[in-house]
Amino acid sequence: MATGLGACDYTTREAAIVAPVDPPGGDPVQEPTDVKYYPSDEPVRMGLEHYNRGNYGISQRYFKEAVEKAPKDVTAWVGLAASYDKLRRFDLADQAYAQAIRLGGETVQILNDQGYSLMLRGNLSGARRKFEKAYSLDPSNPVIANNLELLNGSRKFIERPPNNQP
């Protein structure tokens, strides 16, 4: 038994002497300060996943967690606003869009999303203004063009009697 342990000890010492001090490819162990982890990454990823699956209540919870962990994350605010839109919580959606605009300005995505939000509410003229502003910034964007087409189609189905009288 002593011979076996002695041989094992000898091999370990031999390996320590022969092994290179810096292994090729850098140090495989990362220090906590080296890790590029952003607090909202996981909640945003999960929020997007659930939003794309149509689980808007769950996506709203993840995006809310994301904005609580990283209040300057525009993506998280836009995701939260879009989730609120799908849940028909337009009051909260407006607040989330306002925060996203404060942080990142009126981007094409935000204008488009706001237009869609207004369209969901039945505010077609407001939706048109948002879509047209987004379109002026990015006329080659197929999503905006599609939303304008959708808006134009929805106007055709509105029938009102003359003078809006029943």
pLDDT band at 63 (very low <50, low <70, confident <90, very high): very high
pLDDT band at 127 (very low <50, low <70, confident <90, very high): very high
> Is 80 in contact with 67 (CB distance < 8 Å)?
yes
- What pLDDT was estimated at residue 151? 87
* Model confidence at 120: pLDDT above 50: yes
* Model confidence pLDDT, tens digit, residues 7-18: 444 444 444 444
DSSP 38-57: -TTHHHHHHHHHHHHHT-HH
pLDDT at position 86 over 60: yes
Question: Rounded to an integer, what distance in angstroms lies between the CA atom of residue 102 and that of residue 77?
Answer: 11
The confidence score (pLDDT) of residue 25 equals 52
Rounded to whole angstroms, how far apart are CA atoms 47 and 61? 8
Q: To which residue do tokens 């839109």 refer?
A: 85
